[in-house]
């Protein structure tokens, strides 16, 4: 039982990290950024490229090195997210919502197959891997590395939440989410804030990409697709646009999958998880913590 909970929380923290970007972008410009999962893929490949450039390291240095690579990747993926917004989304800001959505799907394909052209179709394997032997805690097998990864995810999420609730930058984001036009009249540089929002969301996805690469080992150009879908689901469960709700949604989806697999078998897992999603949305369409009056970012 504890094993199931742990499995769910571990996978769920990845979902949550990726879902945050979805949620922030939706909150601020009402865009479902379907290319978001591909920024996760991009992060994994950027981390792979940096590790390849650094060369071989002893396994005792693996964890500190990975943390450095993680930060570098977050910056680079964040910038990629900013570029994506500038090139693909900003020119369409005043276009009908559907045009933006289609552009997002197009951007997703462009990133996927652009990476295929650049890095090839063969899956790549991370040179530094977090393996580790497992220990038993309360009947669940877990490794130190898993704990570190979950720890990093939690730190990033808390940091993001503080940024949004306690800083000027965060206040500007929340203001734009409420009313972009009035915000700009009040002297907020709307374009700059939106760029920074994309930076943050993409950086988090990039972080999740590196962590997945280092832990699972295998990366490929389509790896962002499924997790993008899952993250979207997680964001909707939690209340898209609501930051704590999104985190909760990620963890909940992880748990639903874990328990769904256990109760009904692997072939029914997605039926179970997404069935719950449908049920949930019919009862509570705004998601767990999403309420109409809540400020969205």
Partner 1 sequence: MRATPLKSLASLAAVGLLVTGCGQGLLGGDDGDKAATANDPIVLGMLIPQSGSEAAIGPYMSNAAQLALDEINAKGGVLGRKLELKTADDACDAQSAAAGANKLVTEGVDISVGGYCSGATLPTLPIFGKANIPMIIPAANSQELVDQKLKHVFLINGTGSQQAGAAEKWIAKQGAKSVVLMHDNTSYSKDIALRTKALLDAPGDAEAVLVETVTPKESDYSANITNVLAKKPDFVYWTGYFQEGGLIARQLRQAGYKGSIMVGDGSVSPKLVEIAGAEAAEGVYATMTQTPDTLEGAEGWIAAYKKKYNADPGPYSNQAYDAVRLAAEAVTKAGGTDGAKVISALEAIDGFSMFSGPLKFTPEHTLANGGFQILVVKDGKITLQDSLK
Specify the DSSP class assigned to residue 122.
Answer: S
Closest CB to partner 1 among 95 and 226? 226
- Cα 173 from Cα 220, distance rounded (Å): 34
CB atoms within 10 A of CB 171: 15
Nearest approach, Cβ of residue 84 and partner 1 (Å):
18
Q: Which residues contact 8 (CB under 8 A, 6 or more apart)?
A: 251, 254, 255, 256, 257, 258, 259
- What binding mask, one character per residue, do residues 17-36 give for partner 1 by CB under 8 A, x or -? -----------------x--
Given 65, 262, 286, 295, the residue binding partner 1 (CB under 8 A): 262
Nearest approach, Cβ of residue 212 and partner 1 (Å):
6
Pairing of strands 135-137, 124-125: unpaired
Nearest approach, Cβ of residue 31 and partner 1 (Å):
14
Closest CB to partner 1 among 162 and 279? 279
Q: Which residues contact 45 (CB under 8 A, 6 or more apart)?
A: 115, 119, 124, 209, 219, 221
Given 53, 96, 122, 293, the residue binding partner 1 (CB under 8 A): 122
121 is a site residue for partner 1 (CB under 8 A): yes
Nearest approach, Cβ of residue 161 and partner 1 (Å):
25
Nearest approach, Cβ of residue 182 and partner 1 (Å):
32
- For the chain, list the strands marked E by DSSP: 124-125, 135-137, 140-142, 218-219
Pairing of strands 124-125, 218-219: antiparallel
Encode 194-207: b = buried (16+ Cβ within 10 Å), e = exposed. bbbbbbbbbbbbbb
Tell me which H or E stretch contains 180.
Answer: helix 180-185
- What binding mask, one character per residue, do residues 124-163 give for partner 1 by CB under 8 A, x or -? -x---x-xxxx------x-x--------------------
Cα 36–Cα 257–Cα 136 angle in degrees, nearest 5: 110
- What binding mask, one character per residue, do residues 89-118 give for partner 1 by CB under 8 A, x or -? ------------xx--x-------x--x--
Binding site for partner 1 (CB under 8 A): 3-4, 7-8, 10-11, 14, 34, 101-102, 105, 113, 116, 121-123, 125, 129, 131-134, 141, 143, 212, 216-218, 220, 222-223, 225-227, 229, 257-258, 261-262, 265-267, 269-270, 274
């Amino acid at each position: 039982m504890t094993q199931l909970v742990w499995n769910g929380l571990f996978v769920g923290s990845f979902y949550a990290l990726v879902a945050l970007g979805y949620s922030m972008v939706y909150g601020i410009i009402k865009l479902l950024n379907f290319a978001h999962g591909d920024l996760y893929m991009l992060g994994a490949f950027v981390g792979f490229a940096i590790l390849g450039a650094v060369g071989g390291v002893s396994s005792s240095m693996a964890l500190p090195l990975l943390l450095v690579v993680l930060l570098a990747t977050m910056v680079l993926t964040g910038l990629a997210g900013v570029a994506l917004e500038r090139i693909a989304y900003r020119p369409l800001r005043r276009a009908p919502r559907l045009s933006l959505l289609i552009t997002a799907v197009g951007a997703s394909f462009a990133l996927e197959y652009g990476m295929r052209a650049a890095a090839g179709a063969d899956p790549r394997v991370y040179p530094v891997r977090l393996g580790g032997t497992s220990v038993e805690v309360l009947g669940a097998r877990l490794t130190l590395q898993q704990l570190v990864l979950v720890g990093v995810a939690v730190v990033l999420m808390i940091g993001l939440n503080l940024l949004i609730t306690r800083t000027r930058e965060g206040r500007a984001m929340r203001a734009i989410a409420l009313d972009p036009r009035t915000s700009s009249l009040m002297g907020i540089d709307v374009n700059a804030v939106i760029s920074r929002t994309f930076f943050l969301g993409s950086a988090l996805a990039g972080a999740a990409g590196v962590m997945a690469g280092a832990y699972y080992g295998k990366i490929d150009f389509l790896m962002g697709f499924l997790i993008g879908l899952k993250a979207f689901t997680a964001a909707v469960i939690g209340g898209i646009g609501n930051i704590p709700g999104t985190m909760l949604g990620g963890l909940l989806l992880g748990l639903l999958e874990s328990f769904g697999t256990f109760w009904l078998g692997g072939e029914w897992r997605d039926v179970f998880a997404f069935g719950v999603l449908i049920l949930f949305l019919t009862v509570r369409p705004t998601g767990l913590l999403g309420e109409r009056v809540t400020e969205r970012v």
